[in-house]
Amino acid sequence: MKKLALYIILFCCGFTVNAQDLNARVQVLTPKIQTSNKRVFQSLETAMKDFLNGRKWAADDILSQERIDCSFTFNIISWDGNSAFSAELQVQSQRPVYNASYTTTLLNVNDRDFDFTYTEGQTIDYTDQSFQNNLSAVMAFYAYMIVGMDYDSFSKLGGTPYFAAAQNIVNNAQASSYKGWKAFDSNLNRYWLAENLNNRVYSNLRGFVYDYHRNGLDLMADNAAKGRKVIAGILPVLTQLDRQRVGAMLPTVFFTAKSDELVGIFTRADLQQKNQAMNILTKADPANGNKYAVLQHN
């Protein structure tokens, strides 16, 4: 089990020692690019895999079996034939559920504001102290997010130093011309994801994430009814989230990752528990109301 990692001083210098905190799968898709030479895309895929898996992102020593499973899917939208790329980036991460073969999604984000430069064979420069280039900054940002989400699920607010490291990347990127780093670029971007996770306004949701995983899901393999009861008891926390707040990205990210799973958890609940869960979830997450309505018919 990972130990709680603290504190920010550990991030004052970039981690460059060989390590494998992440088990990152990288895929570069080019359905819109008309070219017979795919070498640059293959090189990008390899470079990103090496960058993500070869750096030390967590403060603790993570055992090989504890490496965090995650995926980065680049969908290249345009390429100038040289070094300029525009892409959509899908980032996902998972964590195993205790005593089960099931893995639960912690993060599922589609980043549409992702322009970067890369040339075949390029060395990917990165430091926590300054903005080097958009490619490495975005990758490092999500690496810290993935580690922080994982730690939050194992210890209450355990991801704090990693979310602060991601916020530092946002701060360093403010002078860049790339989109996704500034508050006015969008209500749902890297700026707001970091802001939310470092904002006390959302500490209740982060606490919910811990209780949901550690005291709920992790019990379900041994005692499904007990684990489900814990989750049912904390569901009202989700109705306290201010979804109307400008830049309220974290609730959206949470429900994107968890809405289907929540339906699955309560599908086997008794009628009263199903109805209570449906009412709470529909109020907290009206965008997915049709999903939760299934509970009423099962």
- Give the start-to-end residue ranges of the domains of the chain: 19-198, 205-297
pLDDT at 3: 39
What SS3 class is residue 234? Answer: helix
Which segments in the chain show pLDDT lower than 50? Answer: 1-18
Q: Which residues pair with 275 in a beta bridge?
A: none
pLDDT at 83: 96
Q: Which residues pair with 238 in a beta bridge?
A: none
Question: In angstroms, what CA-CA distances link 178 with 38, 131, 234, 240?
Answer: 25, 11, 39, 34
Question: In angstroms, what CA-CA distances link 90 with 70, 109, 113?
Answer: 10, 6, 11
Give the DSSP letter of residue 241. S
Token pair for 252: 């959206």
Question: In angstroms, what CA-CA distances link 281 with 104, 266, 285?
Answer: 19, 11, 6
pLDDT at 37: 84
CB 166 within 8 A of CB 194: yes
